[in-house]
Structure 1
């Protein structure tokens, strides 16, 4: 979910040709090994690493991973998506008569809640599901406030937040109350935890629904959750988590438009992947001519469902490690089909959505990797996910990835 108050608060918002220069070879992620026990010293500091179990919101495909924080005094449980595409905390309150999620946060029951005077409307460029936003169907109205936020039993006081006081019906399917931003600068409760002694990083173990046991580890790295070594790449964004990519290949082929440098945002709050229209169509041209725009949902593409199964669609995103070595994060062919369109069940939606001005990958990549989001060193780390099902993707000497969530409009 890219947002509009960061960007306002939480908004985001091809003919094939052979390459003339040698293409980077797919490689196994390699780099300096993170020393075992590197973060064991946390236990001697003010805080230990905080483990937050995550549930998978699954509707035929993995959409969101969410877990609980607590807000107020005494604490009230609030379920949130931990979203690397935004920076603020917002959740449904009892003031929101249009919010169907329960139980909502009740400000009247918190002795430490301080209501603010600012209200803001948030328009989202991507939704919680896989369909592109149409006609501003994802809009929140929020009010500023402060309160105590507790995570893993550790309380942070006077944290700035927003309570949702109105939402459009598109949000009604969500099983969680709100969003906790986890952008590339420590803010909110996370900044308070860092000040109290936690290392300024967090790790995500986002797993496919069939695997389960997903988790967020705040202030540490769990080396039992991945195989091999972590490979780190520089984070180049200013608020968003971005890594520079040198090229994209599809089924081992590329084009001049795909063989360009671009900064790709990593967004744990989005399901599909989004690229500019020209990049999207260049990628689809290397998969199948049958993939066409779906006019009822601008930005979405699809093809007849009876033609999609078994269609080769392996996407390699090439990056450069901090040691100067190219490595691939790979989206496997199995991610191409995200299910039939509601308005025409004979047409199946495909993974890549067109969104000009934005290059972004989400859960469809991240659920195949253990990821480390190192704010202190402004870098991201990746290693093959250690679950048995996810490891099936790593028989090749490359990484494999996939994404989904709400992003407010970047305009």
Structure 2
């Protein structure tokens, strides 16, 4: 979904692995050193099954699967919120009860939570590079703002008792009319804007409630129901064959080497020897503008730039121009070819331009020269994300 603009280079910390149980959660598919440290603790319900399933929904707009989200609980007694689990960011935010710009989002009432702590009461804001739909932001400071507070945050009976998060009094326009209430960042281990030094997922892992640091995403394309996320491992019922592992770049978020890109099997020279940010919360692809221009020149001169970032063409001819795109991730023996079928080249009608449909690649120069690879590719694979051992896994979906 949203990538903080400073995501390109981050520092990494280590936690000692703990072995317990895995939590399986069907989903609903749809950077600041501050303060002093406070203690975080975790809890879990006794007798819980190792894998827990919750209902799912897919946010589909036009022809595109835009976001996947699931329900979390905040406070005591728990208040429920739907959040995107975003691999492109690190921390959590929801809106407070006084936020007037949150649209249809559910609001958190701290007065109703016996475990709420206003501390560290640190004013903060999170800036984001991509929005929640297929329209790129203009890198103009869109984001959320509020204060960092502390409360119990859980999912499917597993919780971090004293988790810090941003309680917002200001939401951006891109959150005004969406079927979810906030974001839970699940980027690689280490980076966080929280004074406590721990993002929610890594606090949960450090508590010993998870089998492993891995989490896995099963996002079947175009299905309103059936998506799933597994925290602490994988669900073999959702994939077939082996999981192909690719090493992550050691000084960045979920970034892999991308030696090549092909269009209908033909290599695009301008895209050779690149790096790619893999982001579960982005509904399109992006790359530096020079590379994207070369990409569309190779596809068809009929595809034009719609604004500074998005590209498109007349809806009545877009299917005839659609291409299959294959990315090679990793090199040598670990190289993996991941393909987006041409049926997903079209992101649907472009708002404000009747008769024009948006194509899958956008131009974004604020990514440190990297590609940004989102849902149009990732949903075709069972993906395994390991921000502790710095590996990414891909497997064939089991239908």
Q: Same fold (TM over 0.5)?
A: yes
Deviation, 1:369, is 0.7
1:271 corresponds to which residue? 283
Task: Please give the per-residue CA displacement for 1:104-130, whole angstroms capped at 9, x wherever unaligned.
Answer: 111111111112332223333211110
- The 1:246–1:6 alpha-carbon spacing in structure 2 relative to 1, beyond 3 Å, is closer
1:300 pairs with 2:310: yes
2:371 corresponds to which residue? 359
For 1:325 and 1:7, the matched residues in 2 are separated by 25
- Contact 2:246–2:336 (CA<8 Å) still a contact in 1? no
- Contact 1:311–1:333 (CA<8 Å) still a contact in 2? no
1:401 corresponds to which residue? none
Q: When the two structures are aligned, how many residues end up with a matched partner?
A: 353
Task: Please give the per-residue CA displacement for 1:254-297, whole angstroms capped at 9, x wherever unaligned.
Answer: 24322x21210110110000101111112212211111111xx3
2:130 corresponds to which residue? 126
Name the stretch that deviates more: 119-128 or 220-229. 119-128
- Contact 1:52–1:217 (CA<8 Å) still a contact in 2? no
- The 1:326–1:189 alpha-carbon spacing in structure 2 relative to 1, beyond 3 Å, is closer
2:254 corresponds to which residue? 241
Deviation, 1:193, is 2.2
1:142 corresponds to which residue? 146
Matches within 5 A, 1:11-30: none
- Contact 2:71–2:80 (CA<8 Å) still a contact in 1? yes
1:218 pairs with 2:218: no
- Contact 1:138–1:171 (CA<8 Å) still a contact in 2? no
For 1:256 and 1:281, the matched residues in 2 are separated by 12
1:101 pairs with 2:104: yes
Give the alignment partner of residue 320 of structure 1, picking from 330, 334, 342. 330
1:334 pairs with 2:346: no
Give the alignment partner of residue 78 of structure 1, picking from 78, 81, 95. 81
- The 1:362–1:237 alpha-carbon spacing in structure 2 relative to 1, beyond 3 Å, is farther
Task: Please give the per-residue CA displacement for 1:300-331, whole angstroms capped at 9, x wherever unaligned.
Answer: 1111112112324111101236x714321011
2:116 corresponds to which residue? 113
1:27 corresponds to which residue? none
Task: Please give the per-residue CA displacement for 1:56-100, whole angstroms capped at 9, x wherever unaligned.
Answer: 111111100000111111111111000000000101121212212
For 1:379 and 1:164, the matched residues in 2 are separated by 33
Deviation, 1:152, is 1.3
Name the stretch that deviates more: 132-141 or 232-241. 132-141
2:199 corresponds to which residue? 188
2:352 corresponds to which residue? 343
- Secondary structure in structure 2 of the residue aligned to 1:270: coil
1:15 corresponds to which residue? none
For 1:340 and 1:152, the matched residues in 2 are separated by 37
Name the stretch that deviates more: 133-142 or 58-67. 133-142
For 1:384 and 1:173, the matched residues in 2 are separated by 34
- Contact 1:253–1:286 (CA<8 Å) still a contact in 2? no
For 1:135 and 1:327, the matched residues in 2 are separated by 31
- The 1:224–1:211 alpha-carbon spacing in structure 2 relative to 1, beyond 3 Å, is farther
- The 1:59–1:190 alpha-carbon spacing in structure 2 relative to 1, beyond 3 Å, is same
For 2:354 and 2:302, the matched residues in 1 are separated by 16
Q: TM-score, normalised by structure 1?
A: 0.80
- Contact 2:287–2:363 (CA<8 Å) still a contact in 1? yes
For 2:71 and 2:5, the matched residues in 1 are separated by 23
For 2:165 and 2:79, the matched residues in 1 are separated by 15
For 2:357 and 2:51, the matched residues in 1 are separated by 42
- The 1:40–1:147 alpha-carbon spacing in structure 2 relative to 1, beyond 3 Å, is closer
- Contact 2:262–2:325 (CA<8 Å) still a contact in 1? yes
- The 1:211–1:382 alpha-carbon spacing in structure 2 relative to 1, beyond 3 Å, is farther
Q: What is the root-mean-square deviation of aligned Cα atoms in Å? A: 2.6
- The 1:196–1:49 alpha-carbon spacing in structure 2 relative to 1, beyond 3 Å, is farther
| Structure having greater relative contact order (Cα 8 Å, sep ≥ 6) | 1
Structure 2 gap ranges (5+) = 11-17, 23-43, 191-197
- Contact 2:148–2:166 (CA<8 Å) still a contact in 1? yes
Structure 1 gap ranges (5+) = 11-38, 388-411
Deviation, 1:372, is 0.5
2:240 corresponds to which residue? 227
